[in-house]
Structure 1
Amino acid sequence: MPGRGKATAKPKGVPCRRHSRPPGCVVRAAAAVRIQAFYRGRLGRQLATRRRQRMEQEKLEEEQQKRMEQKKQQALEEAERQKKMQKENLLKEFRERKCTLEEMCQGLPSHTRDWEEKPLMLLEMLDGVGCCEAWLGRHMDGRSARKAYLALARKWHPDKWTVQGERCVAIATEVAKQLVRAYEQLCIDLPRAPADNCAAEDDDETRECCEFASWVGVSFHGMEEIWKERRGVKR
């Protein structure tokens, strides 16, 4: 038996263990290849995941854009429908209003002004086209203007149109308010009659004017003061 510490000679033909291992550079290269393959696969999976997420996000944005366009189109169609319906309602209301005015003008006992004979003219004046002279005409003094105003106010008093229906009452109220405003403007523009030249009829008519103005809900500036001045009422 060989002694300790002595190297034993290997038989010929048997490769040495030291020479059977691959070189270190080859091992490191193989490890580098495996590491690169690992990270390449991991990076590829991450890129594929990001690409899939991006495609899903683009798909969601496209669907959201389509929904927004559909909502916008529906809103435009709804606005167009509402506009068309509003136009039809206005046209229907205009026709009904015109027919009502024609019936009211035909039912008047007398016609003292042109607009009482022409419903279209009256309709335009109610929309704000007419002035005080168009409603009551031209007058030289307050007494003639008051008589013309009272003659029209008595015919167009809303209480006289209750039998014809609410629409006639509403139109009569509008006409009465326009008459009150026109008479108020004429009272401001026209000269006042002296207090000593006023008869009892003037006081009664002035009181009727004030009562009619308060009945239709229009405030008269100066009308009540004129009546108090003529009646001798202290303020």
Structure 2
Amino acid sequence: MKILLVEDDPKTAEYIARGLVEAGHSCETLKDGTDALFQVTRESYDVLVGDRMIPGLDGLSLVKAARAAKVKTPAPFLTSISGVDDRVEGLEAGGDDYLTKPFAFSELMARLNALARRPPVQDEKIVLKVADLELDIARRQVQRRGVAIELQPREFTLLEVLMRGEGRVLTRTMLLERVWDFHFDPKTSVVETHISRLRAKIDKPFDVPLLHTVRNTGYCIHAPR
């Protein structure tokens, strides 16, 4: 899943983001509700996780504004405000779940997975396609020409990021940030290694390659031209 986390407490944000990335998901973090609204209306996410007490737009206002802008991304609240009336207010504002702090990370993951399994809202794009390659986000399944392809969690996330950017060149730095949540260069070959593994699974068994290396720039996935 591609997740946007809005949390202004650095330690909490780091803890959640690390756990999500280790579970094979992509997680971007912001601490300001106004920035989050801008981000969620310009880019597609599978889940928007937000605290209620954040700078800029508070959590309730963020979700209300997102819904007004026709953003259908599931939006669970993760907050220390735990009264019954507060939970009702959050759900009526357009939130999809309400988890109070302190929380167990395993419960957070279970709730996010439950949201991902929900039937999609009409016209929500949960199956990505590039030529004859299909990636089903909700079911975590990949196939090409009807042949199932088994991917490890990080490989799945890498392919999802590449397919969301179909036709665009994604640099090594961009992939490190979106797939591994590295905001620095760890000086390893992790990107190259995973690209090689991914190519062996989605391209080599077939006669038409979709994943391309752009010399000295990055990687791009696109249909045959």
Range class of TM-score, shorter chain: under 0.3
Higher relative contact order (CA 8 A, sep 6+): 2
Q: Answer 1 or 2: which has greater strand percent.
A: 2
Greater CA radius of gyration, 1 or 2? 1
Indicate the structure with greater helix content: 1
